[in-house]
């Protein structure tokens, strides 16, 4: 690098001075730097002699100072000190009386000292300038590296973005597919079922007198199974709709909501001995119809699984979890469940009881979970066989910042 | 209840057609039912063209429209009816398997008069069709220009 710099700089100097500066200042070899110092003082000496020869008086001093400045500029501090010493010596030896001796007459001493001081000042100024330049160059290099890195990172981000948008498109396609899938399920799967049920019933009506008891039971089974399948499909579709439907969040008075649901379910369970207990409930922020579905599912489950109890006890209340969340629970003294299967509780079509014991498709708790998750909450269940069950769901509290946070997020 | 409006059923599935007719027959509503099997045929009927060019003029008292139809879909039929000056007064009831909110929204925004999801249960289906027939064919006063027949 240094050879190249030295060899080619002369050619380029006229073309690009700044490039020359840059190349030359990269010289790090001490021999070259001190050599530069000696050479420039030598050249200055030669120039001074030439000027003296052409009868120019008292210009040796600036010539040496120029040599010192050049040395400081391009070769650094050490060489500049050397240049000061050398040019002092040369000046003293060749141009200060007595000539050709290093002695200085007392008359010339101030003159000489001023030269040394002047040389020192020029050298130090140049050194300061050089240091600043070095710092600047360092900073520039640093910046350049940073810019390079940033460009690199930007490239990477762009690449990731591209990938992300590709993924998003893929996801959209998958979603569309899924949607059209559930759409065809809704249309095409229900139609044959409706026919199965319809024609079975028509058959039952038309041929009931011709069929024996066993055949009639077969038709009944066909009908029941088809109806059950219809219910399963309907439940599954409703469940998938919850995932896709837009949530319209408002303030929801849970107490009012629960009382409404309890009144409604109380209508259906008239004649049963149920002790309802509704505690204080908070005002939440969420989609009212969805939250209503949660409460309906949990409360009707509680009513269902306490069918064998006299009296049945169903309690709805809440626990203040922390500043941000509130946990609502529905507790019953019904059939309960084995905690061993607690993981299955919220799965789609997962049931922990036989259909003869308790009817249902097994979609209720899955729906509850999906709705609560969409509201940013959690669900859990606790229970023991024959000792009842408690289901909890947590919701963000209705504080103003919840609304703001949601607004900011969207 | 002296008059009985004509009911136009647009349904591609022959089984559904039979079940619908059975349900309507239970209430003596089946006499004045016209069945078309796809959207194009339904529009032909309404506009008295093609195979229906010789039918007597007049709009049906109600149209029971399935959404999933061959050739021209139900929503498109609905759109064409509601944008046609002569046809837009015909009461249209969408009778479909689709629970989809999307279909419902689209139908209502196109100006459907009722949206009925076919119940899976046969009894419910029969009841739904019967009630539709009674309401639109008998109780409801159809818009002027509908074909009517003394009962």
d(CA B63, CA B94): 8
Chain A environment of B14 (Cβ under 8 Å): none
Higher pLDDT pick, A228 / A162: A162
Confidence of residue A22 (pLDDT cuts 50, 70, 90): low
The residue-averaged pLDDT of A46-61 equals 84
Establish whether the linkage from the previous residue to A98 is cis, with ω within 30° of 0. yes
Domains, chain B, in order of start with CATH, read 3-140 (3.40.50.2300)
Q: Whats the size of chain B, residue-wise?
A: 151
Report the residue from A186, A191, A201 with minimal CB separation from B99: A186
**Residue A167 banded pLDDT, cuts 50, 70, 90:** very high
Name which of A199, A227, A241 is nearest B120 (Cβ-Cβ): A227
Give the best residue of B68, B121, B129 to mutate against chain A (max A CB count within 10 A): B121
Q: What are phi and psi of A126, to 5 degrees?
A: -65, -40
Question: What DSSP element (H or E) covers B9?
Answer: strand B7-10
User: Are β-strands A312-320 and A274-278 bridged in parallel, bridged antiparallel, or unpaired?
Assistant: parallel
To the nearest 10 degrees (0 to 180), the angle between helices A30-53 and A77-90 is 30
> Is pLDDT at A1 greater than 60 in this prediction?
no
Spell out a b/e string for A276-315, using b for 16 or more CB atoms within 10 Å of the CB, else e.
Answer: bebeebeebbbbbebbbbbbbbbbbbbbbbbeebeebbbb
Q: Up-side HSE of residue A90: CA atoms within 13 Å toward CB?
A: 25
Report the pLDDT value the prediction gives residue A392, as an integer from 0 to 100.
92
Four-residue CA torsion sign, B25, B27, B28, B33 = negative
- Identify which has the larger pLDDT, A171 or A25: A171
pLDDT surpassing 50 at residue A401: no
B120: nearest CB among A193, A202, A241: A193
Closest residue of chain A to B96, computed from CA coordinates: A187
Residue among B16, B22, B121 whose CB faces A227 most closely: B121
- Whether A252 has a pLDDT exceeding 60, the answer reads yes
Q: Which of B22, B99, B125 sits opposite A194 (nearest CB)?
A: B125
In chain A, what residues touch B13 (CB-CB under 8 Å)?
191, 195
**With bands split at pLDDT 50, 70 and 90, how would you rate the model's confidence at A32?**
confident
**Cβ atoms B7, B32 nearer than 8 A:** yes
Residue B136 — pLDDT band, cuts 50, 70, 90?
A: confident
Q: Which residues of A touch B129 (CB under 8 A)?
A: none
CA distance A293 to chain B (A): 17
pLDDT, one tens digit per residue, over A200-240 is 888 888 888 888 889 889 998 998 888 888 888 888 878 87
Q: How many CB pairs under 8 A join A and B?
A: 62
Of chain A, the percentage scoring pLDDT greater than 70 comes to 89
Bond preceding residue A128 cis, omega within 30 of 0: no
Interchain proximity A187–B98, CB inside 8 Å: yes
Distance from CA of B121 to the nearest CA of A (A): 7
Q: What is the mean pLDDT of chain A?
A: 82
- Per-residue pLDDT at A410 exceeds 50: no
In three-state form (DSSP H/G/I as H, E/B as E, the rest C), the secondary structure along chain A is CHHHHHHHHHHHCCCCHHHHHHHHCCCCCHHHHHHHHHHHHHHHHHHHHHHHHCCCCCCHHHHHHHHHHHHHHHHCHHHHHHHHHHHHHHHHHHHCCCCCCCCCCCCCHHHHHHHHHHHHHHHHHHHHHHHHHHHHHHHHHHHHHHHHHHHHHHHHHHHHHHHHHHHHHHHHHHHHHHHHHHHHHHHHHHHHHHHHHHHHHHHHHHHCCCCCHHHHHHHHHHHHHHHHHHHHHHHHHHHHHHHHCCCCEEEEEHHHHHHHHHHHHHHHCCCCCEEEEECCCCEEEEEHHHHHHHHHHHHHHHHHHCCCCCCEEEEEEEEECCCCEEEEEEEECCCCCCHHHHHHCCCCCCCCCCCCCCCCCCCHHHHHHHHHHHCCCCEEEEECCCCCEEEEEEEEECCHHHHHHHHHHC
- Tell me the three state secondary structure of residue B119: coil
Q: What are the residue ranges spanned by the domains of chain A?
A: 2-154, 247-409
Using CA atoms, how far apart are residues A305 and A336, in angstroms rounded to an integer? 7
Least confident of A132-146, A243-257, A300-314: A243-257
> What does the DSSP 8-state code read for residue B12?
-
**Which range has highest mean pLDDT (A71-85, A308-322, A378-392, B132-146)?**
A378-392
Contacts of A323 (CB under 8 A, 6+ apart): A397
- Whether B120 and A234 lie within 8 Å, measured CB to CB: yes
Sign of CA dihedral A56, A57, A60, A66: negative
A372 versus B151: the higher-pLDDT residue is A372
Average pLDDT estimate for A318-347 = 86
Q: What is the mean pLDDT of residues A269-274?
A: 84
Which among A185, A186, A189, A229 is the top mutation candidate for probing chain B, defined by the most B β-carbons within 10 Å of its own β-carbon? A186
Chain A residues within 8 angstroms (CB to CB) of chain B: 183, 186-188, 190-191, 193-195, 197-202, 226-227, 230-231, 233-234, 237-238, 241, 245
Give which of B97, B98, B105 to mutate to test A binding, by max A Cβ within 10 Å. Answer: B97
Average pLDDT over residues A52-74: 83
> A199: which chain B residues are within 8 Å (Cβ-Cβ)?
15, 19
Task: Please tell me which residue, A371 or A75, carries the higher pLDDT value.
Answer: A371
Amino acid B29: pLDDT: 74
Report pLDDT digits (tens) over B28-48: 776 778 899 888 888 888 888
- Asked whether residue A335 carries a pLDDT value surpassing 70, the answer given is yes
Cβ neighbours of A183 in B, within 8 Å: 98, 100
Average the pLDDT over A320-334 and give the result.
Answer: 85
pTM of the model: 0.56
For chain A, the first-to-last Cα distance in angstroms comes to 58
Contact residues on chain B for A224, CB-CB shorter than 8 A: none
Specify whether the CB–CB gap between B4 and B151 falls below 8 A: yes
Q: Give the whole-angstrom CA distance, residue B40 versus residue B53.
A: 14
* Chain B residue numbers touching A234 (CB-CB < 8 A): 99, 120
* Residue in A with minimal Cα distance to B20: A198
Cβ separation of A241 and B101 shorter than 8 Å? Answer: yes
Q: What distance in Å separates residue A248's CA from the closest CA in chain B?
A: 15
pLDDT at A2 over 60: no
**Domain A247-409 CATH class label:** alpha beta
What pLDDT score was predicted for residue A18? 58
Q: Which residue has the higher pLDDT, B80 or A80?
A: B80
Report chain A residues whose CB lies below 8 A from the CB of B123: 201
Choose among A378, A383, A295, A379: nearest CA to A334. A383
Instruction: Decide which of A163 and A119 is more confident.
Output: A163
Q: Do residues A68 and A80 lie in contact, with contact meaning Cβ atoms separated by under 8 Å?
A: yes
Among A186, A202, A245, beta carbon nearest to B22? A202
* Per-residue model confidence as pLDDT tens digits over B63-117: 999 988 888 888 999 999 999 888 888 899 999 887 777 888 999 999 999 999 8
pLDDT band at A169 (very low <50, low <70, confident <90, very high): very high
pLDDT at B1 over 60: no
pLDDT of residue A408: 47
């Amino acid at each position: 690098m240094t050879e190249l710099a030295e060899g080619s700089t002369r050619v380029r100097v006229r073309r690009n001075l700044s490039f020359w500066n840059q190349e030359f200042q990269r010289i790090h070899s001490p021999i070259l730097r001190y050599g530069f110092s000696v050479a420039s003082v030598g050249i200055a000496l030669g120039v001074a002699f030439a000027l003296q020869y052409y009868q120019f008086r008292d210009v040796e001093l600036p010539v040496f100072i120029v040599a010192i400045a050049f040395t400081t500029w391009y070769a650094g501090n050490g060489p500049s000190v050397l240049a000061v010493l050398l040019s002092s010596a040369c000046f003293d030896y060749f141009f200060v009386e007595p000539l050709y001796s290093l002695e200085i007459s007392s008359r010339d001493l101030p003159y000489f000292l001023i030269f040394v001081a002047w040389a020192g000042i020029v050298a130090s100024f140049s050194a300061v300038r050089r240091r600043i330049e070095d710092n600047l160059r360092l900073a520039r290099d640093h910046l350049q590296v940073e810019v390079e890195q940033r460009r690199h990172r930007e490239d990477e981000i762009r690449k990731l973005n591209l990938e992300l948008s590709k993924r998003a498109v893929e996801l959209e396609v998958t979603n569309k597919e899924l949607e059209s899938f559930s759409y065809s399920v809704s249309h095409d799967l229900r139609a044959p079922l409706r026919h199965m049920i319809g024609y079975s019933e028509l058959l039952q009506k038309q041929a009931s007198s011709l069929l024996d008891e066993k055949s009639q039971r077969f038709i009944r089974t066909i009908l029941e199974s088809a109806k059950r399948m219809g219910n399963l499909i309907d439940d599954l579709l409703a469940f998938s709709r919850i995932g896709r439907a837009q949530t319209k969040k408002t303030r929801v008075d849970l107490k009012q909501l629960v009382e409404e649901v309890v009144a409604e379910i109380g209508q259906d369970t008239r004649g049963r001995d149920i002790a309802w207990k509704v505690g204080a409930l908070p005002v939440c922020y969420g989609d009212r119809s969805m939250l209503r579905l949660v409460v309906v599912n949990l409360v009707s489950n509680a009513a269902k699984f306490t069918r064998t109890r006299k009296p049945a006890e169903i309690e709805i209340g809440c626990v203040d979890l922390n500043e941000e969340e509130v946990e609502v629970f529905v507790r019953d003294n019904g059939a309960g469940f084995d905690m061993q299967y607690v993981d299955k509780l919220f799965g789609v079509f997962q049931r922990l009881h036989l259909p003869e014991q308790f009817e249902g498709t097994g979609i209720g708790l899955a729906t509850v979970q999906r709705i609560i998750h969409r509201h940013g909450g959690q669900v859990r269940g606790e229970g023991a066989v024959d000792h009842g069950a408690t289901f909890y769901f947590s919701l963000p509290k209705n504080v103003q910042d919840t609304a703001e946070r949601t607004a900011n997020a969207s | 209840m002296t008059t009985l409006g004509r009911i136009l059923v647009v349904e591609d599935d022959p089984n559904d057609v039979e079940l619908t007719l059975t349900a309507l027959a239970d209430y003596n509503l089946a006499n004045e039912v016209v069945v078309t099997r796809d959207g194009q045929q339904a529009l032909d009927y309404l506009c008295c063209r093609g195979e229906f060019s010789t039918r007597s003029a007049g709009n049906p008292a109600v149209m029971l429209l399935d959404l999933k139809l061959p050739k021209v879909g139900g929503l498109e039929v609905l759109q064409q009816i509601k944008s046609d000056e002569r046809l837009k007064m015909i009461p249209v009831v969408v009778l479909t398997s689709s629970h989809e909110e999307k279909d419902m929204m689209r139908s209502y925004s196109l100006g459907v008069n009722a949206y009925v999801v076919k119940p899976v249960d046969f009894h419910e289906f029969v009841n739904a069709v019967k009630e539709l027939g009674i309401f639109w064919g008998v109780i409801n006063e159809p818009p002027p220009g509908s074909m009517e027949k003394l009962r």
